[in-house]
């Protein structure tokens, strides 16, 4: 791998799920990170044309043919996740994944693969949600006995519910002692909104995050990808790699 400061060769990046909303954002924003170079884009079906803006495209059935790479960023769907995880583990490459709706078995496979590669899975790559998780855990700890409800809203084409971010916020609330309930809205083109509400007798606290642009997730994933390369195998969190 090739991550030492001042090294002239850029890190070789694969974008997996490249034709999706997040994949397109990643490809558009990758040039903002000159320490990395996109060496392959992976889409579900056989691509045509095979090269776009100098980036070679591969079908998901052609993963074995990918050129050497240092890190893959995966924003696909659960059915695409296993293959890119296995490839990264096999090649000892780093993996940053934001794919949500993973099964317990897939989360287990992620832990197992961390023996061979540096891996980071996160339900959300925005700085605001990282802060919100911290606030929610603290609020839950300070409000024993209050009801905790998490309401999330996303665009109509989102497949999983509750969102991965809502579940992660629920885990934060749980660490503070709360037992959250969830509600999901699917409407229009909403990028992602999360409200965590603590309700007592006669009073209520609302903690909310609203994403108006999915570029924040793409930039966050690209940023942590630069930091993950060269790390020892293991499971990393966004908070480990910020700064």
Smaller CB separation from ligand NAD, 121 or 198: 121
Answer for which of 79, 90, 156, 213 binds ligand NAD (CB under 6 A) is: 79
User: CA–CA separation, 189 vs 213, rounded Å?
Assistant: 11
- 13: its two tokens: 């990046």
- 39: its two tokens: 């060496």
> How many residues bind to ligand NAD according to rule CB under 6 A?
25
Residue tagged active-site, from 154, 194, 209, 223 = 154
- 168: its two tokens: 């992660």
Residue tagged active-site, from 16, 155, 158, 181 = 158
Answer for which of 77, 109, 130, 190 binds ligand NAD (CB under 6 A) is: 77
Among all residues, whose Cβ is closest to ligand NAD? 20
User: CA–CA separation, 216 vs 224, rounded Å?
Assistant: 12
158 in catalytic set = yes
Instruction: Give the residue among 122, 133, 129, 134 at the shortest CA–CA distance from 227.
Output: 122
Answer for which of 57, 99, 114, 226 binds ligand NAD (CB under 6 A) is: 99
When asked if residue 19 is in the footprint of ligand NAD (CB under 6 A), the reply is yes
When asked if residue 226 is in the footprint of ligand NAD (CB under 6 A), the reply is no
User: CA–CA separation, 154 vs 182, rounded Å?
Assistant: 14
When asked if residue 103 is in the footprint of ligand NAD (CB under 6 A), the reply is no
Smaller CB separation from ligand NAD, 13 or 143: 13
Q: How many CB atoms lie within 10 A of CB 232?
A: 8
Answer for which of 29, 44, 161, 205 binds ligand NAD (CB under 6 A) is: 44
Segment near ligand NAD (CB under 6 A); pick from 4-12, 48-56, 75-83, 107-115: 75-83
When asked if residue 217 is in the footprint of ligand NAD (CB under 6 A), the reply is yes
User: CA–CA separation, 145 vs 25, rounded Å?
Assistant: 42
E strand map for the chain: 11-16, 36-43, 51-52, 55-59, 71-74, 94-97, 118-121, 147-154, 181-186, 192-199, 204-211, 234-236
Binding residues (CB under 6 A) for ligand NAD: these are 17, 19-23, 42-44, 60, 75-77, 79-80, 98-101, 122-125, 214, 217
List active site positions.
154, 158
């Amino acid at each position: 791998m090739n991550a030492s400061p001042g090294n002239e060769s850029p890190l070789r990046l694969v974008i997996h799920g490249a034709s999706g909303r997040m994949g397109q954002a990643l490809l558009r924003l990758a040039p903002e990170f000159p320490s990395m170079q996109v060496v392959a884009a992976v889409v579900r079906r056989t691509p045509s044309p095979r090269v776009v803006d100098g980036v070679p495209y591969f079908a998901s059935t052609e993963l074995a043919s990918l050129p050497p790479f240092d890190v893959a960023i995966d924003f696909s769907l659960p059915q695409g996740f296993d293959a890119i995880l296995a490839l990264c583990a096999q090649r000892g490459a780093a993996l940053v994944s934001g794919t949500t709706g993973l099964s317990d078995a897939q989360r287990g496979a992620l832990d197992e693969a961390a023996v061979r590669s540096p891996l980071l899975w996160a339900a959300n790559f925005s700085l605001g949600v990282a802060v919100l998780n911290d606030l929610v855990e603290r609020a839950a700890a300070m409000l024993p006995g209050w009801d905790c409800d998490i309401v999330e809203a996303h665009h109509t084409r989102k497949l999983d519910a509750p969102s991965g971010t809502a579940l992660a916020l629920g885990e934060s609330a749980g660490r503070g002692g709360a037992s959250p309930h969830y509600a999901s809205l699917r409407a229009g083109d909403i990028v992602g909104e999360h409200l965590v509400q603590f309700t007592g007798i006669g009073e209520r606290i609302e903690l909310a995050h609203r994403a108006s642009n999915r570029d924040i997730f793409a930039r966050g994933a690209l940023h942590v990808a630069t930091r993950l390369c060269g790390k020892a195998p293991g499971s990393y969190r966004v908070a480990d790699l910020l700064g």
